[in-house]
Amino acid sequence: MGRNGYFVVNKKGTGMMTQHDKITELSEIFEINASEIVPGKSLDSLRWDSMAMLSVIAMANEKCGKRISGAEIKKMRTIQDILDVLD
Amino acid sequence: MIRAISYHLPELCLTNQELAQLYPSWPADKIFEKTGIRTRHIAAPDETASDLAALAARKLFAEHAIAPASIEFLIFCTQSPDYCLPTTACALQHKLGVPSSAGAFDFNLGCSGYVYGLGIAKGLIAGGMARRILLLTGDTYSKYIYPMDQSTRTLFGDGASATLIEASDEPNGIGGFVFGTDGAGAGNLIVPASGARKVCELPEQADGGVSSACPALPRQLYMNGPAIFNFTLDVVPPALEKVLQMNGLKMDNVDLFVFHQANKFMLEMLRRKTRIPQDKFYVNIEDCGNTVSSSIPIALARAAADGTLKRGMRVVLVGFGVGLSWGATVISW
């Protein structure tokens, strides 16, 4: 709860993510081992469907307060593209 | 105040097992894990939203001993009308035996529609135009969905609801409203060639491209999932904060939150973001999916039936989606 007893709309997110956090989150989203999350990996080689896109948007929003637009998410081609917006 | 709610789901069901056979990358348990939905009800080929709404209305009359002759106004929220014209509510007036002295009209909204309907009903009562209002909602999105579009076909189910809203001396029956609209996102959830404009430009350049699963045909439902998801995260938390403030409430004063039952993934995200405790956040979509404007009244009826929602409780309702459009209010049950 924030000022006046109302909840605070969380615009800033909860803070920074370490590289380890990012890899862990992505391995859960794509359901593969963390060792397989390598920056150059093509998203086309993974299950990069609408659910995965929503999961990445949700993770960025919750874990580091970043808003990824529909246009941005659809331009992403590699794991690196996702890692970049989480910085 | 809301006097009673009933609902109707069509008989035919579409299960995750059936869908998983069509979408090899999405096993049935995965569909459930992400959406929270196991099965959805689908209207028969010759069954329309108004048929479902009429059945919901008849249940309301029977379950709550309401005489159709006592209805003074009939409002029908649908995006699957029987015809472009006449207004489906007129056919429903006749079918249900509502008196010809009643006003009747349709309004075209989706997931925000129930909250709008309560607002219209409250306005009609406050303006002295009617004292007993039958608010019907009903949709058959299944008829718009391309069978291979896994992003929409897994979520949406057909259904209808009927609510009786009555003039009351109780001050807190239906509280203050928050409404909101963002037509810039109209193309993100749309059946493009469904009206006079015929073909609309999908916002491929502006917001990210084609439907999340497959190219929609002009008369089929197109949903830009990521854009809708972002829209929801952007508008729902502030709308919730505003409706609480407007009604002089804090989170702790609310007994139950009933949001548009979009899907489990989105609802869980919204719940965490707004820090609503799990036991005050009602989700009931496992056997019906996202029933658009009927999702909130179906959830209310089910919460009342399963004992979650008790007389005297204060409930916050938030609807959001196609339009893009949103609305929130507080009701006393």
- A70/B209 CB distance under 8 A: yes
User: Under 8 Å CB-to-CB from B183, ≥6 apart: which residues?
Assistant: B323, B324
- Would you call B172 a catalytic residue per the annotation? no
Q: What is the pLDDT along chain A (87 residues), one digit of tens a residue?
A: 344 334 444 444 456 788 888 999 999 999 899 999 999 999 999 989 888 999 999 999 988 889 999 889 989 999 999 999 988
Q: For A70, which of B151, B227, B237 is closest by C-beta distance?
A: B227
The two three-digit tokens of residue A1, written as one number: 């709860």
Contacts of A67 in chain B (CB under 8 A): 230, 233-234
Interhelix angle B49-63/B88-96, rounded to 10 degrees, is 40
Spans of chain B below 50 pLDDT: 203-213
B111 is an active site residue: yes
Per-residue model confidence (pLDDT) at position A7: 44
Asked whether the beta carbons of residue B207 and residue A69 sit closer than 8 angstroms, the reply is yes
**What is the pLDDT of chain B when averaged over all its residues?**
93
**Rounded-to-integer distance, Cα B263 and Cα B256, Å:** 18
Closest residue on chain B to A61 (Cα): B233
State the pLDDT at residue A19: 87
Which strands sit side by side in the sheet containing B2-8, from one edge to the other?
A: B2-8, B159-166, B132-139, B73-77, B103-107
Q: Is B167 an interface residue toward A (CB < 8 Å)?
A: no
The pLDDT assigned to A15 comes to 65
In angstroms, rounded to a whole number, what is the distance separating the alpha carbons of residues B162 and B159? Answer: 11
Q: Is B101 exposed, middle or buried, given 0-12, 13-18 or 19+ CB atoms closer than 10 A?
A: exposed
Chain B environment of A44 (Cβ under 8 Å): none
CB atoms within 10 A of CB A83: 16
CB-based contacts of B174, cutoff 8 Å, min separation 6: B1, B2, B118, B121, B122, B165, B329, B330, B331, B332
> What is the distance between the alpha carbons of residues B315 and B330, in angstroms, rounded to a whole number?
6
Give the residue on A whose Cα is nearest the Cα of B244. Answer: A6
Tell me which chain B residue has its CA closest to the CA of residue A74.
B208
Q: Do A54 and B207 touch (CB under 8 A)?
A: no
B138 phi and psi angles, rounded to 5 deg:
-170, 140
Q: Residue holding tokens 């989203």?
A: A29
Mutate which of B222, B229, B240, B276 to test chain A, going by most A C-beta atoms within 10 A?
B229
Residue A75: count other Cβ atoms within 10 Å of its Cβ.
11
The yes-or-no answer on residue B290 being catalytic is yes
B contacts of A55 (beta carbons < 8 Å): 265
Instruction: Write down the pLDDT at residue B199.
Output: 63
Q: Report ipTM (2 d.p.).
A: 0.78
pLDDT reported for residue B322: 97
Residue-level pLDDT at B195: 85
Choose among B34, B208, B250: nearest Cβ to A70.
B208
Chain position carrying tokens 């303006």: B127
Nearest to A50 among B213, B233, B250 (CB): B213
Write down the pLDDT at residue B207. Answer: 38
So what's the pLDDT on residue B279?
96
